[in-house]
Amino acid sequence: MGAQTITRADLAKAVQGAVGLPLTQAAIAVEMVLNEIFDCVVTQEDVKLSSFGTFSVREKRERIGRNPKTGEGAKVSARLVVSFKPSNVLRERVEGG
């Protein structure tokens, strides 16, 4: 099974097919949803999408990493990262249940 990338255009076409909107309006709707998720994540709010999952921002502490080529230690600074936790419904569907 090969990996496939779904683009904004693909999402807009799917919305167009499901709802019957013109493609430009479907693209605007997709963009609005993605922008809302983006804005919430940037302000460190959790985004919970029922039956899909939760996007959240968490803080990673400073740590010592290793250069895989040399094995030498290097300091990795503290930072914020976006994480995604899939819902149980999504997990079950991915597993084929």
The string of pLDDT tens digits covering residues 10-46 is 999 999 999 999 999 999 999 999 999 999 999 999 9
**pLDDT confidence of residue 7:** 96
Out of 3.30.70.920, 2.40.50.40, 4.10.520.10, 2.40.50.140, the CATH code matching 47-97 is 4.10.520.10
**pLDDT confidence of residue 90:** 96
- Digit-coded pLDDT (tens) for 48-94: 999 999 999 999 999 999 988 998 998 999 999 999 999 999 999 99
Q: How confident is the model at residue 2 (pLDDT cuts 50, 70, 90)?
A: low
* Beta carbons of 14 and 30 less than 8 angstroms apart: no
- Digit-coded pLDDT (tens) for 30-39: 999 999 999 9
Note the helical H segments in 1-97.
8-19, 23-42, 88-94
Packing angle, helices 8-19 and 23-42, rounded to 10:
120
The contacts of residue 51 (CB under 8 Å, 6+ apart) are 87, 89, 90
Region(s) of the chain under CATH 4.10.520.10: 47-97
Evaluate the CA torsion angle 4, 15, 85, 90 in order and state its sign.
negative
